[in-house]
Structure 1
Amino acid sequence: MSGLQPSALRGLRSTESGLVVFVVIVIVIVIVIVLVLVLVLVLVLALVSSLLLSTGLVTDLFRRCRVWVLLIRLIRSGILPESVSEPDIMFKESLSSAGMAALMLPGQTAATLLYATTYLDTITTLSLKGSSLEAVVSTPGCGANSSWLTPDYANNVIYCLDEGLTTPTGTLSSFAIGSRGTLSQLDIVDTLSGPVSGVIYGEAGTGLALAHYSGSSVAAFDISNPRTLAPVQANTYTLDAPGPNPGRQEAPHPHQVILDPTGQYLLSPDLGSDVVRLYSVDEAGVSFTELEPLVAVPGSGPRHGAFLVTDDGTTYFYLVGELSNTVTGFEVTYNDDNTLDFTEVYVSSTHGLNGTVPNNQTTAGEIAISPDNKFLLVSSRGEGVLKIPNFDPASSTEIVSDPIITFEIDHASGALTKVQEFPAGGNIPRQFSISPDGSLVAVGLQNDGRIVVIGRDVETGLLTNFVASANVGGQPTSVIFAAE
């Protein structure tokens, strides 16, 4: 540099200054171009958004996104099959805001599942949503005369009994509960004849006691492994002579097994022997020891029973007599010597203190206590007095119905007050179940091949309306609500 002439140095500096100016100008131009492009993009997006909003496409897009979110939730909850299409959930058109709001209302996003047995070798899974009750799965394998379901929801298992009306033995089956109410058989074993009721017991819930109506027995199975059902014991009974009703009491007929509130005792109403058989559950294992029975009125035919524990700790036991059409209440005393005393506190017709049954064909059916322990419900069969509109809107033929009778329970005395008789929805309500929240009653109408769901006012205890019905055929024998 020291060798350059002053004139050359001045030229070099001039060139460098020109380059700097040029670079600055280029940068400014680039920035201006970018700003112009951003402005154009914003204007284009604004124009497109305006056009979309004016045509409702954006609203529809958001609605569809919400529908698909709802669809995914329904599939995950097991209410809809994975194969459901968008038109199915969209009702073949875009959902209105009101329609979406209805779908999203509390209690409306998930259907209620039920399980029912029939004399068709099937367990039917039904889905209740709104006023629709539909059979969604039919699972074979329980037996030709499936009679009772005992759920073990804690372990996702259901046990099914087959009476075996045309075979020398019955069966006990176990089924795993899958998604959307599907059932997969785990095991099936022969039992004594005529199992009609079962209850899980034992400290770990590993025993299953069965009442065998035609087998005159109360038996037990070890269900610690539902894939390998193992018999434990069977207590079989005889009569020295027929009872007061020789046509029905020619032999002992255990009709139900009930676990007491402490989990330490099993009770089995025996229709043929006019007793309620009593057993203490062994602390170790799943065997049980027989105690002195509760003796019922001769000819009453004890069928089913239910326990109630009041807030002050008083225990009541209510027994329905199938042959006498009576409800009897007992106060239960637990003694230090491992025995129970039953003191009668109430007895009436299944239609109340001053009520009568309409004919000699009437027989009491099921008995249950509401989840809040305030009301007792009883079904009566063979009355044929009530008439209701046909569930088929295309038919004007009325349906003959038996009743479900509701009583209010006085916790201080154990006495009952009849508050309502309501149609069961058809003939021979052999069994019914109350939903866990007490708002629904599901009824199996044996002679009509129908399952009916009835609405219930939890506060008043009154049955209010027919919510839904489904024809399942095959003489329904039991129906239960799935776990919530």
Structure 2
Amino acid sequence: MPTPVTSADGLLVLTGSYTPDSGGEGAGLAAVRLVPETGTLRPDPRLPPVPVTGASYLAAHPSLPVVYSTNETDPGAVCAVVLRRSDETLTPLGDPVGTGGANPCHLTVHPDGRWLLTANYGSDTAPGSVAVHRLGPDGRVDELTDVAVHDGTGPVRGRQDGSHAHQVVLSPDGRFVLATDLGADAVFVHRLDTRTGLLRQIAVNRLRPGSGPRHLAFAPDGTRVWSADELSSTLTCHRYDPSTGTLTEVSRVPATTARDIANQPGGIVASPCGRYVWVTNRGADTVAAFRASGTTLQPIGEVPSGGSWPRGLTPAADHLLVANQNSGTLTALRVLPDGALGGPGLAARVPSVVCALAL
């Protein structure tokens, strides 16, 4: 998006939720407003919800007023929505397009605005994979140009019997496509041919067995990357080699100080300065803050998420937006100067919310 969509009512935020046809109670895409001065979130009645099936992750086009959503179903799809600034309306742009896999759960737009990359989580019969779609000049999702299938398993039965791609991101310099795989305990590294839309796998980073890497967050200088490890409930710091796309684990810490609670880290965000890292904790129902000093992480505080089963974590106007899936609430935690987090302001009711995108 070229510029934030703001008004006297606050910053526009789009939310994604599981719908009744994808196991939830949400509407798909829904709009709320964040008032940064108070951390208050409230629905925007001028933008009616858009019924997008299984809208589990959202991403914005780098230059066009277009937002992309996963359709987390089996088989999976992705779709595009136009945000018209003149009257602030949301309109579907074309029909959903298949991803060549099952249950897509994350996507990102290439910086050149011509390619959409999607992580297919997979299913009992379909392995995890990364899909590539060509984007049209108006931002619509066009042809599926490639599907790179992952291979691998891990020691956690029921969760790692096959590969499960969970996130796909570009390296800070744009050279590599990195895809975390929770089932294979790995980060697959690809290179995208921006002429053909084809992926070429160049490396596989095998991480700690049973860790279940879910999402990554890069340090601004591109020398370190932190992983939220869903199955081991840890945060791991890896040294990143920008010449090869390889990761080397250097340290790790528990994702929460809570004890005797089954916990699964979810979203992870690094501060623009690279000094702080934050992570949601599903089970402990908290957001934990860490100070990043070199290759170590030091806990500096942990606050309630303002709901149950916090999943997505999104920066927005000196706040972190927390999508509390099971309680159906979106909350905003203020980021304090020392990286710690203040308590939530007034939450917005968004059934089965799992992600948010500040526009």
Q: TM-score, normalised by structure 1?
A: 0.66
* Partners of 1:113 and 1:181 within 8 A in 2: no
- List runs of 5+ in structure 1 lacking aligned partners: 1-76, 80-108, 384-401
Query: What is the 5 A alignment of 1:213-292?
Result: 213-214=121-122, 215=126, 216-225=128-137, 226-239=139-152, 243-292=154-203
1:446 to 292, 312, 325: 325
Match of 1:366 in 2: 267
Cα distance in 2 between the residues matched to 1:200 and 1:446 = 25
- CA RMSD between the two structures: 1.9
Match of 1:139 in 2: 49
Cα distance in 1 between the residues matched to 2:102 and 2:246 = 31
Cα distance in 1 between the residues matched to 2:150 and 2:184 = 9
Letter in 1 for 2:305: A
Cα distance in 2 between the residues matched to 1:360 and 1:469 = 25
Cα distance in 1 between the residues matched to 2:165 and 2:227 = 14
2:120 to 209, 212, 217: 212
Does residue 116 (structure 1) correspond to residue 15 (structure 2)? The answer is: yes
Distance 1:246-1:308 versus aligned 2 partners, 3 A rule? same
Deviations 1:190-224 (A, max 9, x none): 2222000001115x221111111124111111113
2:67 to 133, 158, 178: 158
Match of 2:24 in 1: none
- Report the Cα offset of residue 427 of structure 1: 0.9
Instruction: Give the SS at the match of 1:406.
Output: strand
* Partners of 2:215 and 2:229 within 8 A in 1: yes
Does residue 178 (structure 1) correspond to residue 55 (structure 2)? The answer is: no
The structure whose residues are more often helix, as a share, is: 1
Deviations 1:249-303 (A, max 9, x none): 1110000001110011111110011111111222534322101211111111110
Letter in 2 for 1:124: A
Does residue 463 (structure 1) correspond to residue 347 (structure 2)? The answer is: no
* Partners of 1:195 and 1:211 within 8 A in 2: yes
Cα distance in 2 between the residues matched to 1:367 and 1:332 = 17
Match of 1:343 in 2: 248
Deviations 1:56-85 (A, max 9, x none): xxxxxxxxxxxxxxxxxxxxx773xxxxxx
The structure whose residues are more often strand, as a share, is: 2
* Partners of 1:444 and 1:451 within 8 A in 2: yes
- List runs of 5+ in structure 2 lacking aligned partners: 20-26
Aligned pairs, number: 336
Deviations 1:105-144 (A, max 9, x none): xxxx45111110111342011012354422122332421x
Distance 1:221-1:359 versus aligned 2 partners, 3 A rule? farther
Does residue 419 (structure 1) correspond to residue 300 (structure 2)? The answer is: yes
- Report the Cα offset of residue 454 of structure 1: 1.5
Cα distance in 2 between the residues matched to 1:258 and 1:78 = 27
- Report the Cα offset of residue 415 of structure 1: 1.3
Q: TM-score, normalised by structure 2?
A: 0.88
Match of 1:45 in 2: none
- Report the Cα offset of residue 153 of structure 1: 4.8
Does residue 327 (structure 1) correspond to residue 235 (structure 2)? The answer is: yes
Cα distance in 2 between the residues matched to 1:299 and 1:376 = 22
- Report the Cα offset of residue 348 of structure 1: 1.5
* Partners of 1:454 and 1:468 within 8 A in 2: no
2:279 to 353, 375, 378: 378
Q: Relative contact order, CA 8 A, sep 6+: which one is greater?
A: 2
Cα distance in 1 between the residues matched to 2:72 and 2:272 = 29
Cα distance in 2 between the residues matched to 1:160 and 1:364 = 22
Instruction: Give the SS at the match of 1:347.
Output: strand
Query: What is the 5 A alignment of 1:56-67?
Result: none
Cα distance in 2 between the residues matched to 1:266 and 1:243 = 22
Cα distance in 1 between the residues matched to 2:183 and 2:346 = 36
Deviations 1:159-192 (A, max 9, x none): 011111xxx3122110111236421110221222
- Report the Cα offset of residue 317 of structure 1: 1.0
Cα distance in 1 between the residues matched to 2:245 and 2:34 = 41
Large movers: runs of 4+ above 4 Å: none
* Partners of 2:303 and 2:343 within 8 A in 1: no
Distance 1:349-1:403 versus aligned 2 partners, 3 A rule? same
Instruction: Give the SS at the match of 2:63.
Output: helix
* Partners of 1:331 and 1:344 within 8 A in 2: yes
Q: Which has the larger radius of gyration?
A: 1
